[in-house]
Amino acid sequence: MTIRNYLWLLTIFFIYAQSSAEEIVIDEIIVSADFRERPATEIPSSVMVMDAKFIKEAAIQHFEELVNLVPNLNWSGDGNRARYFQIRGVGETSQYEGAPNPSIGFLIDDIDFSGIGTIATLFDMQSIEVLRGPQGSRYGANALGGLIYMRSTEPSNDQNGRVQIGIAGDNSFSMGAAFGGTFNKSASTTFRISAHKHQSDGFRKNTYLNSNDTNGRDESTIRARFRFAKNADFEANIAVMHSDINNGYDAFSLDNSYTVLSDKPGKDAQESIGASMRLDWNKLGAGSLTSITAVADSDIDFSYDADWGNDDRWSPVIYDYESFNDRKRRTLSQELRYKTERWLFGVYMLSLNDELAKLDLGNYDDPFYDYQSTLDYAFDSGYKATNISLFGQYNNEINNATKFSAGLRVERRSTKYHDTEDLTAEPSENLWGGEIGIVHDFTDSVAVFTSLSKGYKASGFNLGMVPDNIRFFGNEALWMAEIGIKTIFLDQSLFLNTSMFHQWRVDQQVRTSFQLTPGDPTTFGFATLNVDESRMLGAETELNWIPHQNWELYVNLGLLNGKFKKVPMYLGIDSLLGREQAHAPAYTFAGGIAYRSESGIFARVDVTAKDEFYFSSSHDQKSNSFGLMNARLGYENENWLISFWGRNLFDKEYAVRGFFFGNEPPDFLDTLYTRFGDPLQFGITIEKKF
């Protein structure tokens, strides 16, 4: 179904529903990722909130299944699961060697997993908030382009729980349980505990090993939350999680299909343990004090068969390469903030340790050209970073209809890096960001907002064989001007959030590849360079409508035009001048219709579409535009839920990652290799509630 046909269907349904509409009130959307928990209509920026109901009905297992539903959000399939995200064209597509320096913040229950979002499973998730645009005042250097904030289900006084089991194609099986309530009769202490496990083959057939699960998924998550609130003056919230993602990695094929030929499949595994503690003193002097402490420990194993083939495929040439990357990341953060009715002040500290052990092995023997080469390369690095920030925010009502807010964050970042290539670096720098915003209520149901904000990203350094003049690269700034409308109308049954924005990046950091000596493959390297300027113009619209108590519709549309404007004239990067950003499609579209009857029968259809986009800043290869359809049909009452679902119903082949290089001997012709997203899959989910 095309976007045009889908919009025609919505128009026809709108006319029909208006003839029999009754008063339905949409629940108020509350944003919790901001300094002050407040309605979305009072925030002078673009925020999309997905609640538990939407998450449960629109996705199955992982956050990557929801990415296509968010305007101007994309992800890089550089691994089995999505871990790198791009918002409005801003964000990384991969990270191998070097220091972590993410552009998109990623938090789960206040625990920072920026750049390592593999663990974003969805069972018993309460909400997901996507803040688009720079979050320089709220989150600092790790949220240059935006923030994704996931929150698991909070404890409540009600004793309740659920047990879920699911089976699907691709030999998929899942099971989970969640329960919670109070520890005592006074209900001062509540808890919520959940556990979930998912397994599937990974949608690949390895014909050389005669195996269907070399790209398989084995994902387990345990979460616990505790709340203590003896009175209204003090509240403590503790979240603990353990996630064990033990996935295979065998996703790329030589003929761009779901059939792979690797003889040494890799892994995309991440085991993380994390905890956060939030303490709120609600009556402390003239205001309230909040303390948030978070800690995380992650072991990440990323390996792959670099030649994607086997001895029989390459015979009589011997061509066998593989890469192993073992990363350990530990973070400790502490935030204190004191707020009054108008003012908020705070301090934030983040300590990050990142250790990488890398091993590349290879053997090449070409009898045609009488050429032999072996590779045994070991590389170890250690990185420590300390961020200390002071921040403040001012909020005031200019009059009964107009609210003004301003925020500022000043950050001191100190780092230490060393590796076995004898590179030592200890850069330190001062960074700042902030925003000014105004929200004006024209009526009780129509609000207009405008804002000017600045985000920032820290400087860094390049590894390996690079010219001395580009060994280090500078920090980056992103400015954004945005204007939008948030309104509720049609008797409180329709919520519309639409905005236009202009972003310009100063000294943008761009990851590119180069060849120092033409014709000599041993001089091929990678580097991050500063591009003088790029600009992004765009618009986003989110529409949610309940025309009848049994029906619900939504339409999400993102438009983006982001191009490099000023580019340095060296290392071939001048070819980017006037070109669009990588992983930044010109449009993203999502629309859905959901029906739920009084008898418990429900159904929904979700349609998504995405324009073509460049895979990288290192070459000019693009994906194809594509559209997908998912559906769900089921029955639910107070005790049971059963649903039948299908994803990618028309079995479309669509690329989520692409490389352009020579990987087939003996000529090694440059070829586009793409990794496809998941194909057609049907499944059934059964849940018992108590």
Domain ranges (residues) in the chain: 3-28+161-689
Higher-confidence position of 576 and 317: 317
The per-residue pLDDT for 519 is 44
pLDDT in tens, 464-480: 777 778 888 999 999 99
Q: Assess whether pLDDT exceeds 50 at residue 20.
A: no
pLDDT in tens, 367-399: 988 888 898 989 999 999 999 999 999 999 999
The per-residue pLDDT for 81 is 93
Q: Assess whether pLDDT exceeds 90 at residue 7.
A: no
Instruction: Please state the rounded mean pLDDT for residues 408-429.
Output: 93
The per-residue pLDDT for 491 is 79
Q: Assess whether pLDDT exceeds 90 at residue 220.
A: yes
The per-residue pLDDT for 520 is 44
pLDDT in tens, 578-609: 899 999 999 999 999 999 999 999 999 999 99
pLDDT in tens, 444-453: 889 999 999 9
The per-residue pLDDT for 23 is 52
Instruction: Please state the rounded mean pLDDT for residues 354-379.
Output: 90
Q: Assess whether pLDDT exceeds 50 at residue 650.
A: yes
The per-residue pLDDT for 514 is 63
Higher-confidence position of 470 and 660: 660
Q: Assess whether pLDDT exceeds 80 at residue 5.
A: no
In whole angstroms, what is the distance from residue 167 CA to residue 171 CA? Answer: 8
pLDDT in tens, 523-564: 456 788 888 889 999 999 999 999 999 999 999 999 999 899
3-state secondary structure 340-404: CCCEEEEEEEEEEEEEEEEEEEEEEEECCCCEEEEEEEEEEEEEEEEEEEEEEEEEEECCCCEEE
Mean pLDDT rounded to a whole number for the chain: 90
The answer to whether 134 and 454 are in contact (CB under 8 A) is yes
pLDDT in tens, 199-213: 999 999 999 999 999
Peptide bond into 547 cis (omega under 30): no
How sure is the predictor about 4, in pLDDT bands with cuts at 50, 70 and 90? low
In whole angstroms, what is the distance from residue 413 CA to residue 142 CA? Answer: 12
Give me the percent of the chain exceeding a pLDDT of 70.
93
Q: Assess whether pLDDT exceeds 80 at residue 570.
A: no
Q: Assess whether pLDDT exceeds 90 at residue 515.
A: no
Least confident among 92-106, 171-185, 223-237, 329-343: 92-106
Q: Assess whether pLDDT exceeds 90 at residue 33.
A: no
Structure-token match 């998929």, residue found? 172
The answer to whether 387 and 348 are in contact (CB under 8 A) is yes
Q: How far is CA 207 from the centre of its chain?
A: 33
3-state DSSP assignment of residue 207: coil
pTM of the model as a whole:
0.93
Measured at the alpha carbon of residue 311, what is the angle toward residues 310 and 313, in degrees to the nearest 5?
Answer: 65
CATH of domain 3-28+161-689: 2.40.170.20
DSSP string for residues in 118-146: GG-B-TTEEEEEEEES--TTTTGGGGSSE
Structure-token match 């690269």, residue found? 473
The per-residue pLDDT for 207 is 97
Instruction: Please state the rounded mean pLDDT for residues 322-337.
Output: 95
Segment of 18-22, 39-43, 379-383 carrying the highest mean pLDDT: 379-383
The per-residue pLDDT for 25 is 55
Instruction: Please state the rounded mean pLDDT for residues 231-236.
Output: 92
The per-residue pLDDT for 471 is 85
Tokens encoding 627: 């559209």
In whole angstroms, what is the distance from residue 262 CA to residue 94 CA? Answer: 21
The per-residue pLDDT for 523 is 46
Least confident among 58-62, 452-456, 508-512: 508-512
Bridge partners, residue 174, by sequence: 166, 198
Sign of the C-alpha dihedral computed for residues 67, 68, 74 and 78 taken in this order? positive
The per-residue pLDDT for 231 is 86
The per-residue pLDDT for 28 is 67
In whole angstroms, what is the distance from residue 458 CA to residue 474 CA? Answer: 7
pLDDT in tens, 62-96: 999 999 999 999 998 888 999 899 999 999 888 77
The per-residue pLDDT for 94 is 81
How sure is the predictor about 18, in pLDDT bands with cuts at 50, 70 and 90? very low
